[in-house]
Structure 1
Amino acid sequence: MSRTAYERIETLLNCGALHPGQVVSQRELVDMTGATLASIRIAIPRLEAEGLLQTLPKRGLMVPSLDVAFVRDAYQLRQMIEVGAIEHAATSLQPGQIAAWIERHETLLDLLVQDRHREISAELQALDWSMHESIVAAMGNKLIDNTYRVTSIKTRMVVQSRLQITSDNARRVLEEHLAFLRPLANRDIDSARAALSQHISNSLDLALGARN
């Protein structure tokens, strides 16, 4: 039950239903998650230990505020982990999985040509998150998996209010993903690393508002 409560709070943080600086009570978390009060109370220490919630005496729980310096550090960490995971992904991921990602990206690009970016935005976001997490998971290192997951949640908390999925942004993400997925499918590790590194650098620029 506490795991379910934790995962539901994690979802609220990921989607922006809980945002940096927001203060909530345990009872409000019960209402927002549908979990029991007991399971919420069990989940809170883990969320606090990971820096996803802070207890404010007599006030409740606050979603921590994170600054631009954190975003830069987070993307640097992301780049180190993901680029380092590429070789593992090339050997550990099933070829069918990479091929399926490529096929889905190409399909979504075709839908963008039809000006359907609003229709695909939720799928693109879910695909983006799950694909990057799968690449990291290919290393088989649970400590790295957890560090990457928590850092990703915090990054989304900071930048989600700035990022809007427009047709141009969606196309950029899809094309940059394909730029490393195609060489990854061909076991061209160096090209996949270079393209992934560039993708993460571009994503940092966008997160900091450098360009649309």
Structure 2
Amino acid sequence: MRELITENVNPISSGKSLSLNEQAYLAFRHKLITLRYKPGEYLNTAQVMDDLEIGRTPINQAIHRLATEGLLQIIPRKGVMVAPLSIDDALELIEVRLVNETLCVELASKKVSDVHIHQLHGMNQQIGSACEARDREKMMLLDREFHQVLANIAGNSRLSDILSVIHAQAQRFWATTLSNVEHMDEVITEHNEIIEALKSGDTRRATEAARAHIYSFKRTLLSA
């Protein structure tokens, strides 16, 4: 169980002592984000318990938490269903991302340090290595960490919580585009644009780079 959970949680949190409830939530969310559990699929609680090697109570708590985040739907008299994906949902999500992620980068541009820049560059290099290896899941985990670090630099805990939910939802859509090698390369280039803008202290350039990153996702999604 420990190996499975350590592999699937956000790397930022993996160094912390996590409760069983938090482990269940993170491991369950990982399977939803990476589409191990397919959109529209009904889930049997016993099967999820077996998959994650975690007991019923933490799994039930994770289900309710993930339902509030829009990743699961609790259907009366039927059970739990993985939230379907639709283009309309994706377009709404993109609108929300544009507002919140550009705010995140704007705040980060005023607080970023050389240490942060080094950290972001290192993470993006790891994403590049995962891209070359065609390791989709590792790339997704590292991308999640990259954006979480940006949120941490911004230093607004409420915004960070909002972005965590938004990014989890967005990654389910992104997972459908990761067979597009060209888009995977674009993601790395776009991250570098954000990093270089932050390094230069140019807030306007940084927020424009963040918008370009989101619009790139939109174009790829609509052309898939």
Shorter-chain-normalised TM-score: which range?
0.7 to 0.9
Q: 1:136 matched to which residue of 2?
A: 151
TM-score, normalised via structure 1 length? 0.83
1:207 counterpart = 2:221? yes
Q: 1:153 matched to which residue of 2?
A: 168
Q: Quote how far apart the aligned CAs of 1:44 are.
A: 2.3
TM-score, normalised via structure 2 length? 0.79
Percent identity, please.
21
| Cα contact 2:109–2:206 (8 A) shared by 1 | no
1:4 counterpart = 2:18? no
Distance 2:174 2:113 in 1: 32
| Cα contact 2:28–2:62 (8 A) shared by 1 | no
- Figure out how many residues of one structure are paired with residues of the other and give that number: 205
**SS of the residue 1:51 aligns to:** coil
Q: 1:164 matched to which residue of 2?
A: 179
Q: Quote how far apart the aligned CAs of 1:122 are.
A: 4.7
Root-mean-square deviation (CA, aligned residues, Å) is: 2.5
Q: 1:70 matched to which residue of 2?
A: 89
Gaps of 5+ in 1: none
Q: 1:181 matched to which residue of 2?
A: 195
Higher Rg of the two aligned structures:
1
1:51 counterpart = 2:70? yes
**SS of the residue 1:92 aligns to:** coil
Q: Quote how far apart the aligned CAs of 1:45 are.
A: 2.1
**SS of the residue 2:80 aligns to:** strand
Selected match of 2:52 from 25, 33, 40: 33
Distance 1:121 1:131 in 2: 15
Distance 1:148 1:139 in 2: 11
Task: Report the residue type matching 2:91 in the other structure.
Answer: R
Gaps of 5+ in 2: 1-19
Distance 2:172 2:142 in 1: 18
| Cα contact 2:104–2:159 (8 A) shared by 1 | no
| Cα contact 2:106–2:206 (8 A) shared by 1 | no
